[in-house]
């Protein structure tokens, strides 16, 4: 857990335990007659230093204490949480605090367009707990980084998943950030369907190339937490290819508030260390299906529907939406063109 999150959690606990006036009406940085102020963490910090601020009135001394003790605490603050604005923080405390726990920029610097989009997508979604199937485990404690492919020198490999196979595991923050890499290497282009279900916002991408490079991220899509399993259908080119699962979304990765819930025997927690903080659950499942290359609409058949998709996408690939797993991929031989060669592959696989 970051030092900031640990401080806020400790302050919030202190507020509940000792100060009935936290939170209360009134801006913490303005004098007002009633005791307490609207920012729970700031209120607790000030009243710990000066209990009169929560017993009598929020006077000038309380304001000065807030200015000294509460730098970077801006939840709640003026402005809608779902609309970007110049100042940090937003008016809904729970949403502001939640989004800021994932990205301190939102509370400490500016409530920008990314903060607003994430507030609209993620605030109010309760934590969920997946019912994990009885499938293979990734065999990686969340304090280790075994399956991170090229993401970190500490990684020792990628997850191998056979056609029809499934695996489950956990993800966490910390240094370095945890990601899960699945090996999809092939000598010819192949079509896959990867289905991911996660307790956290999932960042899903396809990366080509080995650790020595060159590498290319062909696409990256985000998925909201706790919803239905997300299925992506895509062609992996004839090369070293990795499907990568991380925590985040279309705009950015999540690097905070997903503390590992297992004890690292080499670095056990100390008596004063705060407990793990998890904005979301840590668990995920992934299932891999191998499809016919010419099964463009992924319905298990190669027929007139796939032929129509080839004809509809005819021409240079750049004319459409290249490398998007949410759009049927008709460039079967991965040459940047949808033409007679792809039509021939559909007819050959009929």
Check residue 89 and report its DSSP letter: S
Question: Considering only CA atoms, which of 91, 345, 154, 145 is closest in space to residue 260?
Answer: 145
Region 247-252 average pLDDT: 85
Q: Is the pLDDT of residue 183 over 60?
A: yes
Q: Is the pLDDT of residue 15 over 60?
A: no
Residue 320: predicted pLDDT:
53
Nearest-angstrom CA–CA distance, 256 and 278: 9
Question: CB of 323 within 8 A of CB of 309?
Answer: no
Residues in contact with 345: Cβ distance below 8 Å, sequence separation at least 6, in sequence order: 293, 294, 332, 333
When the pLDDT of each residue in the chain is averaged and rounded to a whole number, the result is 87
Nearest-angstrom CA–CA distance, 54 and 32: 12
Question: CB of 335 within 8 A of CB of 235?
Answer: no
Residue 319's pLDDT band (cuts 50, 70, 90): low
Nearest-angstrom CA–CA distance, 258 and 263: 14
Q: Is the pLDDT of residue 39 over 50?
A: yes
Instruction: Please tell me the least confidently modeled range out of 96-100, 191-195, 325-329.
Output: 325-329
Residue 11: predicted pLDDT:
45
Residue 223's pLDDT band (cuts 50, 70, 90): confident
Tell me, which fold does domain 136-260+271-291 have in CATH? Jelly Rolls (2.60.120)
Q: Is the pLDDT of residue 4 over 50?
A: no
Question: Considering only CA atoms, which of 77, 78, 13 is closest in space to residue 45?
Answer: 13
Name the pTM for this structure: 0.81
Taking the alpha carbons of 336, 340, 343, 344 in that order, is the dihedral positive or negative? Answer: negative
Q: Is the pLDDT of residue 215 over 70?
A: yes
Domain boundaries of the chain, sorted by first residue: 3-122, 136-260+271-291, 304-348
Nearest-angstrom CA–CA distance, 84 and 110: 8
Looking at the chain, the whole-number percentage of residues with pLDDT higher than 90 is: 55
Q: Is the pLDDT of residue 321 over 50?
A: yes
Question: Considering only CA atoms, which of 81, 61, 72 is closest in space to residue 11?
Answer: 72
Residue 327's pLDDT band (cuts 50, 70, 90): confident
Residue 244's DSSP bridge partners are 181, 205
Q: Is the pLDDT of residue 19 over 70?
A: no
**In the chain, how long is the greatest CA-to-CA distance?**
83
pLDDT tens per residue across span 283-310: 999 999 999 999 999 999 999 999 999 9
Asked if omega into 84 is within 30° of 0 (cis), the reply is: no
Question: CB of 182 within 8 A of CB of 158?
Answer: yes
pLDDT tens per residue across span 260-285: 999 999 989 888 888 888 889 999 99
Give the per-residue SS3 of 258-277. ECCCCCCCCCCCCCCCCCCC
Looking at the chain, the whole-number percentage of residues with pLDDT higher than 70 is: 93
| More reliable by pLDDT, 172 or 327 | 172
Residues in contact with 33: Cβ distance below 8 Å, sequence separation at least 6, in sequence order: 57, 58
pLDDT tens per residue across span 125-174: 888 888 878 888 998 999 999 999 988 776 778 999 999 999 999 999 87
């Amino acid at each position: 857990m970051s030092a900031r999150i640990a401080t806020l959690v400790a302050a919030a606990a202190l507020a509940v335990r000792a100060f009935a006036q936290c939170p209360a009406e009134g801006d913490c940085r303005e004098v007002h007659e009633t005791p307490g102020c609207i920012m729970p963490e700031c209120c607790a910090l000030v009243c710990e230093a000066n209990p009169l601020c929560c017993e009598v009135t929020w006077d000038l001394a309380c304001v000065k204490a807030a200015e000294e003790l509460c730098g970077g605490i801006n939840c709640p603050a003026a402005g809608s949480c779902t609309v970007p604005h110049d100042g940090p923080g937003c008016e809904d405390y729970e949403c502001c605090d939640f989004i800021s726990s994932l990205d301190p920029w939102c509370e400490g610097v500016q409530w920008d367009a990314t903060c607003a989009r994430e507030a609209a997508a993620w605030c109010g979604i309760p934590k969920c707990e997946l019912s994990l199937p009885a499938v293979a485990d990734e065999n990686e404690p969340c304090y280790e980084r075994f399956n991170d492919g090229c993401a970190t020198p500490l990684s020792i490999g990628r997850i191998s998943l056979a056609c029809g196979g499934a695996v489950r595991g956990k993800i966490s923050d910390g240094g370095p950030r945890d990601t899960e890499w699945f090996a999809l290497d092939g000598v010819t282009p192949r079509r896959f369907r990867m289905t991911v279900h996660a307790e956290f916002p999932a960042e899903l991408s396809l990366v080509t190339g080995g650790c020595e490079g060159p590498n290319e991220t062909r696409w990256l899509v985000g998925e909201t937490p706790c919803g239905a399993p997300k299925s992506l259908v895509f062609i992996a080119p004839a090369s070293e290819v990795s499907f990568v699962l991380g925590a985040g979304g279309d705009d950015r990765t999540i690097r905070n508030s997903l503390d590992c819930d297992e004890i690292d025997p080499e670095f056990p927690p100390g008596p004063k260390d705060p407990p793990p903080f998890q904005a979301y659950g840590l668990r995920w499942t992934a299932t891999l299906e191998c499809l016919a290359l010419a099964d463009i609409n992924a319905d298990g058949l190669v027929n007139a529907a796939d032929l129509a998709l080839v004809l509809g996408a005819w021409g240079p690939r750049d004319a459409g939406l290249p490398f998007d797993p949410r759009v049927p991929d008709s460039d079967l031989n991965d040459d940047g063109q949808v033409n007679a060669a792809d039509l021939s592959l559909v007819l050959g696989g009929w």
